[in-house]
Amino acid sequence: MVQFWRGRTLVVSNAAADVDAPAQTLTYDLANGPAGAAVNPANGVLSWRPGVSQSGIAYPISVRVTDNGTPSMSATQTFAVAVLQPARPSVSLPTAGSGQFQMLIGGDLGPDYSVYATTNVAKNFSGWNWLLTTNPPSLPFQFMDPTATNYAQRFYRVLIGP
């Protein structure tokens, strides 16, 4: 079983050969797999970026290759991928000054990080305003809000996805 982090893109190469002369055309497909997984029919490369709702579960994935002969021949390879839960995002070194608010956001590489703000934490999530979504190449990354001084008070939340 392969263990994989949610939010990162899993890429698996698949290879097959046809011993017929001349060789027949091979086509790959996903015989079984989770939502969002796809296989390139020409080269067999599987790609999948698990979402938030897919973490904490092991998924069987089956890739099939089929030739165009008569009769058609095929082979299937099955493996499992356990989607692990990444760390919750962390916020550190919040500072306000020089007309802006800034903070460092840490966590695991791979997921998207979305930052939201509101002036009233009593509102449900629909009352939060989206400010940024990023998939940073390194962590922690610095978030800056140059409009923070436009408000008497402002609250922030960081969510990971997809």
Question: Which are the contacts of 129, defined by CB distance < 8 A and separation ≥ 6?
Answer: 116, 117, 118
Tell me: do 70 and 12 sit in the same domain: yes
In 3D space, the residue among 105, 94, 115, 96 whose CA is nearest the CA of residue 157 turns out to be: 115
Report pLDDT digits (tens) over 26-67: 999 999 999 999 999 999 999 999 987 888 899 999 999 999
Tell me: do 63 and 18 sit in the same domain: yes
- The pLDDT confidence band at residue 87, using thresholds 50, 70 and 90, is confident
Tell me: do 9 and 77 sit in the same domain: yes
End residue of a domain, out of 54, 84, 114:
84
Tell me which residue range forms the domain holding 142: 90-161
What is the reported pLDDT for 155?
A: 92
Q: What is the CATH number of the domain that holds 57?
A: 2.60.40.60
Tell me: do 127 and 143 sit in the same domain: yes
- pLDDT over threshold 70, residue 83: yes
Report pLDDT digits (tens) over 101-152: 999 999 988 889 999 999 988 766 678 999 999 999 999 999 999 998 888 8
Tell me: do 95 and 74 sit in the same domain: no
Tell me: do 65 and 29 sit in the same domain: yes
End residue of a domain, out of 61, 84, 107:
84
End residue of a domain, out of 50, 84, 118:
84
d(CA 33, CA 104): 37
What is the reported pLDDT for 44?
A: 96
Tell me: do 110 and 75 sit in the same domain: no
Tell me: do 58 and 105 sit in the same domain: no
Scan for tokens 């990080």, then name that residue: 113
Tell me: do 77 and 135 sit in the same domain: no
What is the reported pLDDT for 40?
A: 98
Could you tell me which residue, 8 or 35, shows the higher pLDDT? 35
Tell me: do 69 and 106 sit in the same domain: no
- Per the structure, the count of domains in the chain is 2
Tell me: do 101 and 128 sit in the same domain: yes
What is the reported pLDDT for 123?
A: 65
Q: What is the CATH number of the domain that holds 117?
A: 2.60.40
Tell me: do 64 and 16 sit in the same domain: yes
Helix (H, G, I), strand (E, B) or coil at 82: strand
What is the reported pLDDT for 125?
A: 63
